[in-house]
Amino acid sequence: ILAIGLFLILIAHPMADNILYYQFQNGNRDNWKEAFALIADLKEVDDLVVTTHQDLADYYLQEGTMSMQGQEVSNIREWQNRTWFVIDLTALDKAPQIHQWVLQNAVLVANLDVNVSARTFPMRVYLYDPQHSFTGATIDSSR
């Protein structure tokens, strides 16, 4: 019985660490998979998707998306399509004007931050709908 108890203790601790790492801390990285799964569920046919990591977005959504770098705020104002924005920690550095514009003009759909000890990997999904004026509004996401 002692040998079985010791064996279970030796197995249980690493298994608990794995569960914490993969299930609750997303492998200590940004939660791109969940962000794009949410968009795939809510996205309409003509909606656009803009992100700082276009290759990841293209992979998870299996369609073409747009990079936040190189976009201008004036161009976004002219778009007639609903537009999804996936904002991570790098968005402020890579596209500060777009980041600020999104905060002022789009709706926060989901907060998918990953918290690991003293570090937070921020991940936010926003929706801009040119047919509505949202400024500062949020909608509830059950994710």
The DSSP line for the chain is -HHHHHHHHHHHHHHHHHHIIIIISGGGS--HHHHHHHHHHH--TT-EEEES-HHHHHHHHTS--EESTT--HHHHHH--S-EEEEEETTHHHH-HHHHHHHHHHSEEEEE--EEETTEEE-EEEEEE-TTS--TT-B-----
Per-residue pLDDT of the chain (143 residues; tens, 9 = 90+): 888 888 888 888 787 776 766 666 555 556 788 899 999 999 999 999 999 888 989 999 999 888 888 776 667 777 888 999 999 888 888 888 888 999 998 999 999 887 777 777 788 999 999 887 554 444 444 44
pTM: 0.72
